[in-house]
Structure 1
């Protein structure tokens, strides 16, 4: 039995608490309020637990909303299966935005996967600009994003400074973060108390040999350099050995983290 399965009863119990119910209601109220302000919003969906909750919350209020999945070419293998499973389950208006460049080639061209320390040197070229171009061409005026303050210091600073709804100059679009104040237990509580979300959990969260909390597992690029210090590449080595061998052949420096 996975750690997530063992913790399921505690998450279900937490879903009945006043704290959790208040956070969920605040997220619903914010989504309702912001939807009234915009003509063509979209939900950014990664396949991870946070974006699953966000998509469900927004979809219940606007089932016709655009859903954007960015295909970097270096997603975890199951992510592609998950997005199709969700499309079949809910009939979402899915837009798959593929990176115009090879992500690993960008890292090679820039002389290394870890150049730039905490900043991902490939993000803007691979993900940032393509999404900005797509949203402009598609006429979108708002992006719902599932980031939470708890996830990192950088995200906490950004959300505390700008709030849960603001105009993002970099992407030339309004952004809304309904889950900003949620904790990991709120995410799992929402998933386990709202059918059929439990059946749509990304398989990566059940690969938990290296973690004390399944919420610490990241559904991200399998070459994500910003997660190296969290044991991410060791996790890739154990659960996705073929991907690990591919990466270390190109970037042997990854072995220093495993």
Structure 2
């Protein structure tokens, strides 16, 4: 799927009854949570889901809540292994939504942590979780908006079925959690992208749809860190080498095994 195809689908799907029902439910849940918790943060990765989520929340604040006075922020974590363009997308989202961006730059190199001799990891544990805990504690956050979608994986589907769209979590520290996009599919994200004319990360324009192994099941590379190992066998190594050759060579220096996936 190309970016143009994605936006074309969004323009059609944005008027569908199925999407409009989901949109109405999302707005209802967002409003309810914003009125319950006065210090929320939006977890912003720069990927398509978190970006449209930020615009959706901004829409609710501007049009569905009279004189909203909560202290809401965008929070983004970046490192030397973030895909090029990530910081710029986060800054553009902040500018267009009017929500302050708190940019958290990792104090350690994600490439250095690739070394198997380093005990502490970077991605969904270790340094990244430390950063989330630090955000919640430093800024006294009591609600986290996260752009998780159930249909992205079996694990996420199981989690959403178990917890629903709102729940509390102690990982990595106590906080109320809201998944406004929990039951959205890709066409719903396309509809929001079209409706709000959101910025789109340049990584999505680089997907080669002729190589199915180069993409997730939905036809897109998953935006995360260049150092993520969990998608190497699904073509992310090929994608990085083809589109970001300098970053690939840096990865290979710290993790030579990546060449086995080419």
TM over 0.5: yes
Gaps of 5+ in 2: 63-70
Secondary structure of 1:226 counterpart: coil
1:59 positional shift: 1.4
Gaps of 5+ in 1: none
- 2:168 pairs with 1:161: no
Find the aligned partners of 1:96 and 1:232 in 2 and give their Cα distance.
26
Alignment of 1:39-118 (within 5 A): 39-62=38-61, 65-110=72-117
Per the alignment, residue 192 of structure 2 pairs with: 190
- 2:21 pairs with 1:14: no
Find the aligned partners of 1:89 and 1:68 in 2 and give their Cα distance.
15
Using the size of structure 1 for normalisation, the TM-score is 0.88
Instruction: Give the superposed CA RMSD.
Output: 2.2
Per the alignment, residue 235 of structure 2 pairs with: 231
Secondary structure of 2:232 counterpart: helix
Are 1:205 and 1:215, in contact at CA under 8 Å, matched by a contact in 2? no
Size of the aligned set, in residue pairs, is 248
Secondary structure of 2:85 counterpart: helix
Using the size of structure 2 for normalisation, the TM-score is 0.87
Per the alignment, residue 181 of structure 1 pairs with: 183
Question: Does the C-alpha gap of structure 1 residues 215 and 53 become closer, same or farther in structure 2, counting only changes over 3 Å?
Answer: farther
1:167 positional shift: 0.8
Are 2:112 and 2:254, in contact at CA under 8 Å, matched by a contact in 1? no
Find the aligned partners of 1:76 and 1:241 in 2 and give their Cα distance.
12
Bigger proportion of residues as helix: 1
Per the alignment, residue 38 of structure 1 pairs with: 37
